[in-house]
Amino acid sequence: NPTKRLTIQAGGDAIFTGNVGIGTTLPDAKLEIKKQTTWGTLDNQVIYINNTGTGGNTGLLHDMGSITWRSGNVNTAAISGIRNTPGSGNNVDLRFTTATQSGGQQTSMTILANGNVGIGTTSPAKKLHVKESTTATYAAYIENSIAGGDYLAMIGDAGDNVFEFDSGGTGG
């Protein structure tokens, strides 16, 4: 008796049992996508998330598509493309969300279309913006485990150290 691997339901949903391979005949996981690329080429798309939706309230943020991890019925993490100026162009941010202990969702990191990165904020004002708003603790923690190594240096436009904290706890 042959084993049934694919079922197409009346609503159009397809159910597949086993592993699915795209570009491979021997997939090692539930979904394996394999593409031979050329080194030195920066145009090697493997997956497209293409949202062709129209209409709705163009004044609101719009989720262009997500990759979501789930545990049972709970979304535990996601990476989403969020159109941040829906009515005026294609400025798309990346938002990384994680689940809280109670099962809710929180945005843990945002990368704006202009390159600003926010940890703890969805509207970073500079290239790196770290915000702590839940407990009275450090907003950032920098650790160097190499003996005698420096912890933090600010480099000026001429390449020289403008400010440095060293392993002795001194700065200058």
Question: By C-alpha distance, which of 122, 136, 21 is closest to 80?
Answer: 122
Q: Is the pLDDT of residue 24 over 80?
A: yes
- Where residue 170 falls among pLDDT bands split at 50, 70, 90? low
Contact yes or no for 54/41 (Cβ under 8 A):
no
CA contacts within 13 A on the Cβ side of 104:
4
Identity of the highest mean pLDDT range in 42-56, 63-77, 108-122, 129-143: 108-122
Question: CA 62, 63, 67 angle in degrees (round to 5)?
Answer: 175
Q: Give pLDDT, residue 125.
A: 93
Write out pLDDT tens, residues 70-120.
888 888 899 998 887 655 567 889 999 998 888 788 899 999 999 999 999
At a CB cut-off of 8 Å and minimum separation 6, what does 26 contact?
none
